Amino acid sequence: MKKISFYIPVIALFSFTSCSLFEMDNAEAPAETLQGEVVDIETGEPVLTDQGSEGIRVRLTEDSWGENATPNADFFCMPDGKFQNTKLFPGTYHIRIDGPFIPLMREDERGVPLADESQVVAINGVTKVKFEVQPFLKVEWVGEPEVINGKVKAKVRVTRAVSEEVFRSKIEPMGGYSNSFQNVTDIQLFVSYSSSVGYRARDERWSNKIEYTGSAFNSLLGETITIESTGTIPAGRVVFIRAAARINYDTPKGSGTRRWNYNDPVQLLIP
């Protein structure tokens, strides 16, 4: 009888605990959706990007948690400059994006705010936002890329999407300004079997780059640049290519991440 009387409370406790756990498991999962797009404020065109940590970073912070709120896990735009998160709790969120454009949040070396073009949005159901930004560069195809003996030959043009004067007027007040920030450091030709071709989805056997030191590229702004893939792409394969260029400036400031501006992907059949 003693054994029986000992086990009854234990069984009752276990049953109560199990019910409590079951109730916690029934909590509703986050299901609100945020959809966004990033466009050039001058042209309305999408700001094309890389689908990875070198692309446009999106950071959400739920304001309802107060001053001690920590940001949600960062996520990134798709190559076409759009982003989506379908796993959010309803609430008011601060939305910040960082990419190859003039920073939307700027402050001086003392931490005094200079500008804040981020957004605060109440997310409930499907919520849409648009960010209008000033990209650093514009990268364009010149003519149609060619395929010769398993190699891609492409021509591109790189121009400044924001003038040197405007760039300086917005970046210099942040402190530590250098004229080298506006130097174009490299042009990339990314080749991949993936339609989301970019730095994170490239085939190193065929992708190529041209690097520039100092201000050497300044005289080439607006000029046609020819860049070829490396290696030999097998015949009969379909590949995607994109060109990209970047300047010597990291966003956000101090992160060490210099982000590329891209052009549209092109699909090629290798004869």
Structure confidence by residue, pLDDT tens digits, 127-154: 999 999 999 999 999 999 999 999 999 9
Q: Both 193 and 111 in a single domain?
A: no
CATH number for position 48: 2.60.40.1120
Give the Cα separation of 58 and 47 in Å (integer). Answer: 14
Residue 25: the pLDDT is 52
pLDDT on residue 16: 43
Q: 242 in a domain, yes or no?
A: yes
Residue 64: per-residue pLDDT: 73
Distances in Å between the Cα of 154 and the Cα atoms of 103, 151, 188 are: 31, 10, 11
Identify whether the C-beta of residue 53 lies closer than 8 Å to the C-beta of residue 76: yes
Separation between Cα atoms, residue 76 and residue 143, nearest integer Å: 30
Task: Answer yes or no: do 53 and 128 share one domain.
Answer: yes
> What pLDDT was estimated at residue 12?
43
Q: Which of 13-27, 49-63, 76-90, 162-176 has the lowest mean pLDDT?
A: 13-27
DSSP helix/strand/coil, 181: helix
What are the angstrom distances between the C-alpha of 123 and each of 72, 109, 129, 181, 242?
14, 33, 10, 37, 34
264 and 143 within one domain:
yes
pLDDT for res 26: 60
Prior bond of 9 cis (ω within 30°) = no
To 5 degrees, how large is the angle CA 78–CA 40–CA 221?
100
pTM for the predicted model, two decimal places: 0.87
Residue 11 pLDDT exceeds 60 = no
Same-domain pairing of 120 and 143: no
Same-domain pairing of 163 and 178: yes
| CATH number assigned to the domain comprising residue 238 | 2.60.40.2060
Phi–psi pair at 144, nearest 5 degrees: -100, 135
150 lies in the same domain as 249: yes
**Contact, 180 vs 250, CB < 8 A?**
no
Query: 64: which DSSP letter?
Result: G
184 and 121 assigned to the same domain: no
User: Which tokens is 146 given?
Assistant: 């060619």
- Cβ atoms within 10 Å of 256's Cβ, excluding its own: 7
Q: Which of 245, 97, 110, 117 is nearest to 170 (CA)?
A: 117
The per-residue pLDDT for 3 is: 39
Is 73 contained in some domain?
yes
pLDDT in tens, 157-205: 999 999 999 999 999 999 999 999 999 999 999 999 999 999 999 999 9
110 & 146 share domain: no
Query: Which pLDDT value is given to residue 63?
Result: 85
Q: Which domain holds residue 218?
A: 137-269
pLDDT of residue 198: 96
Residue 164 has, within 13 A of its CA and on its CB side, a CA count of: 11
In the predicted structure, residue 66 carries a pLDDT above the cut 90: no
Instruction: Tally Cβ neighbours within 10 Å of residue 123.
Output: 20
Asked if residue 23 is part of any domain, the answer here is no
Q: Which of 99, 133, 167 is the last residue of a domain?
A: 133
Task: Return d(Cα 59, Cα 105) in angstroms, integer.
Answer: 12
- CA separation for the pair 198, 189 (Å, rounded): 9
148 and 260 assigned to the same domain: yes
